[in-house]
Amino acid sequence: MLHRWVEACYIQIGKSQINTFKYIISGGIIMKVKIIGVSGSPRKGNTNILVKECLKAAETLKDVETEFIHLADFKIEGGCKACLRCYAEPNSEKFCWAYDDEMKLVLKQLMEGDGFIFGSPVYWGSWTAQFKTFVDRTHPFVGLGKLLRNKPAGAVTVALGSIAGQEHVISEIIRFIMFHDMIPIGVDVIWPMEGMASPWGVTGRQGFPDNMGSLTPGNLKAVNQDKAAMACAKVLGIRVAEMAKVVKAGFTLVNPKNEETKWPAGPLTAEFQAEDHHTVAYVKKNIRDKEANA
């Protein structure tokens, strides 16, 4: 009905007005989004610089606010003890039943995000132990119904060498992103670039073209020299922010009442997951039901 009225207006008043009408009707007059950057480096160094560069670029879009989480600032124990109580008894205050530490502050903060930048330096060709601990400890989000679902996210890494694990870490981070049903965002690289560039994420080098070992003065900021990585960080930040806006605006159209429904209208509930995916909660419930009926 409303749609017909809108069409009628279109015929009468033309295209620019109709776009304004559509804009207002969509409820998306101002689409505010929050982009959160997470760094898994133990140092205040190059990873932080790249993640912050993404956030700074994201803020160049209208109505974008950003927050930065340096995991090293939090006392986070780990990894996951696999008790799976976060599946059986999902709890959005406590999150984890095995550890009572500051990871719950990080998870609470992440719940406010509409889009994410995740970064870790390369350690032994892989992500850092700190970042892996963080990844393991996001397990409660799954039990709670995949709280990060449909949120766009990008990956950032930095290493000492040129082809020294960056692509591997990016793909690890992207797999983490996809495991949580987030939407991985790539980088629109303009080839060739002077420095380290990859379409899958930001792949920086600690100093480029100079060699800047970790005992070289200034090494903590050396990624600033890697023009390609810095440019890619800007692109990634803007891409994540614009997609966060598009996804959020889209949901106001397809799911204006913000009901928790099944795909494609909104987040999956823990109950849906339990029923349809045979999680631990489902199995435990079945056991309890059987015991009750025995």
Ligand X SMILES: Cc1cc2nc3c(=O)[nH]c(=O)nc-3n(C[C@H](O)[C@H](O)[C@H](O)COP(=O)(O)O)c2cc1C
Q: Which residues bind ligand X (CB under 6 A)?
A: 41, 43, 45-47, 121-125, 158-161, 164-165, 206, 214, 220
Closest to ligand X by CB, 165 or 237:
165
**Rounded-to-integer distance, Cα 235 and Cα 188, Å:** 7
Q: Enumerate the β-bridge partners of residue 123.
A: 126
Spell out the residues 6+ positions from residue 152 whose beta carbon is closer than 8 angstroms to its own.
115, 116, 182, 183, 184, 185, 239, 240, 243, 244, 247
Coarse DSSP helix, strand, coil percentages of the chain, rounded to the nearest 5 percent: 45, 15, 40
Closest to ligand X by CB, 33 or 170:
170
Integer angstrom CA distances of residue 283 from 84, 268, 277, 287: 12, 18, 10, 6
Minimum separation from the CB atom of position 23 to ligand X (A): 41
Minimum separation from the CB atom of position 224 to ligand X (A): 11
Which DSSP string do the residues of 32-89 spell out, in sequence order? -EEEEEEE--SSSSHHHHHHHHHHHHHTTSTTEEEEEEEGGGS----S-----HHHHS
Minimum separation from the CB atom of position 155 to ligand X (A): 14
Closest to ligand X by CB, 33 or 122:
122
Closest to ligand X by CB, 7 or 210:
210
Minimum separation from the CB atom of position 153 to ligand X (A): 19
Closest to ligand X by CB, 14 or 218:
218
Minimum separation from the CB atom of position 231 to ligand X (A): 18
